[in-house]
Chain A
C-alpha cells in the first residue's frame, strides 16, 4: 500500500535536519521510529546512525537492533530509514543499499524511506526539506513522485496539527544559531564514546519547546 502523506513530530523533523547540518559535507543516514496512525506513518523520533561509510552492513544491523529496543520501550516500532547524499546538487534517490535496509525493517509493518533534499538545507529554513517513498514504492520503482510531509503531534491516539505551523522551523533556526548541533549524537559517535547518548532526549526537549499542538 502506498501512502500519500506521512506525519513527522517536531523532534524527528528537526533531528534529521541537524544531522545533515552537523555533517554538511557528508552523506548521513539514520532510522525512523514511530507508528502507523489511521493508515498514516507517524515518525515520532529518529536514531541518527552514520556520517561516514553509510553503506556498510554490520553496524546498520546493530543500529537497527538498538532502534527496535528503544522503540519498543516507547510503544513504537522502527518505521523506516532516512538518508542524505553528500553533494549539494545530488538527485535524491534510494540506493540498492537503502532497499536492503528496508527489507530488514519492513517485516514490522508499513515503512518508509525519507530522502533529504540537500539544496533545501539552509540556516533560514522555512520549508520541509524531505521527500519520502513507501516500501512498496521502492519495490515497484515508483520513486519519481512523493507525497506530503506534515509536522504534527500524536495525542490520545490521533494526529493533531500544531498551533503555530512555523514554530518547528523557528526552533530549528534557533538551534542552528545557538550551535545546538552539539546535542545531536549519532550512533557512529556513540561507538567511539559509549557515554554519548544516541537517543537525543536533550535535543528533543530543545526542538519541542514552545511548539504546542492546536487547541
Chain B
C-alpha cells in the first residue's frame, strides 16, 4: 500500500485524507507524522460521521508518538465530551497521555482502574508492559507477559512475539529463551515463513557463539528451518531465507564428514546459488552486481 508523502498532504482533498487515515487504522503501519498532518486538516470538519471518533483517537495516539501533547489533549477533550471522562477508551487514552509525558505511576493507576472493571482489556495490559520496558525493568516486563499468557488478556502470538523481541533486543541477548518463544510462535502457525526464518536465524546465532560440539547440529537445524521457510514462501520477498540457506551451507561445510552429508549440503548450496543468480540477474542497479559476486 502506497501512502502519500508528507509534502503531498496539503494537496489532498477531505475524502482522500479520510481514506488515508482509514487505511492507516486498518494496517499496523506506524506513520505518526502523516496521521497528524492528515488529521489536523479533517478533525474539525463536519461530514466525518461515525468515523470522527476513531479519527480523533487515531490522531491523539499519533500526536503522542511525535510528542505533540497539545493536539493529543485537544482530541482527548473532544472524546471525553462525547463519551464521558470515565469510559474505557477515553480513560486509556488519558493514561497514554500521562505515559507519554513520563508520568508512569499515574498512568499505571489509570490502567489498573480500567483493568479492575475490564480484566481482559488487552490494550491496558500491554500499556503496563510498555511502561515497565520504558523504565528499563526488563525482568519485570518479561514476568508480566508470562503471567498474562496464562490469561485471556493477551493472545499467545503477540505475547510470545514480544517475549522473543525482548530477549533478542536486550543489551545482553538471551538467545536460548528467544528460541523457546519462537517455538511457541511456530506451534501457533507452523506455515508462517517469517517465524521459520527467525528460528533459523536464532539457531545460526547460537551456533556462531558455540565453539564446541553444539555448533554443527545447530547449523544443520538452522539450514533445515531456512529450507522450511522457503518451502512455505518461495517468493522474492523471502530472499532473506535463500541468503540464509546459502550462508548456513557455507558455514557448516567444513564441519561435515560423511559423503552423504557433504553431497546434501552441496546440493542445497547449489540450489541457493542458482536461485540468487536468477533473482539478481533481473535486477537493475550496480548493487545487484555485488550480490551476484557474494552469491557465487
Q: A residues engaging B (CB < 8 A)?
A: 25, 27, 53-59, 61-62, 65-66, 69-70, 73, 85-87, 93, 95-97, 100, 178-179, 182, 190-195, 197-199, 201
Contact = CB atoms under 8 A, between A and B. Distances in A.
A53 B201 contact: yes
A95 B172 contact: yes
Contact of A194 (B209, B222, B283): B283
A53 B286 contact: no
Contacts of A66: 290-291, 294
B285 A55 contact: no
Contacts of B205: 55-58
Interface stretch (B54-62, B73-81, B84-92, B235-243): B235-243
B293 interface: yes
A95 B170 CA distance: 10
Nearest to B243: A62
A66 B292 CA distance: 10
A54 B169 CA distance: 7
Contacts of A197: 285-287
A62 B283 contact: no
B5 interface: yes
Contact of B290 (A57, A69, A87): A69
Contact of A55 (B5, B30, B169, B290): B169
B283 A59 contact: no
B288 interface: yes
B172 A53 contact: no
Given A69-B290, A194-B279, A96 B172 contact: yes
A55 B198 CA distance: 12
A69 B293 CA distance: 8
Contacts of A69: 290, 293-294
A193 B237 contact: yes
Interface in B127-186: 134, 136, 168-169, 171-173
Contacts of B222: 58
Contacts of B286: 197, 199, 201
Contacts of B243: 58-59, 62, 191
Interface string B195-220: 00010111011001100000000000
Contacts of B30: 25
Given A58-B248, A65-B294, A27 B284 contact: no
B180 to A, nearest CB: 16
Contact of B169 (A27, A96, A194): A27
Given A53-B169, A100-B208, 7 more contacts: A55-B168, A97-B173, A100-B209, A191-B239, A194-B236, A199-B287, A199-B290
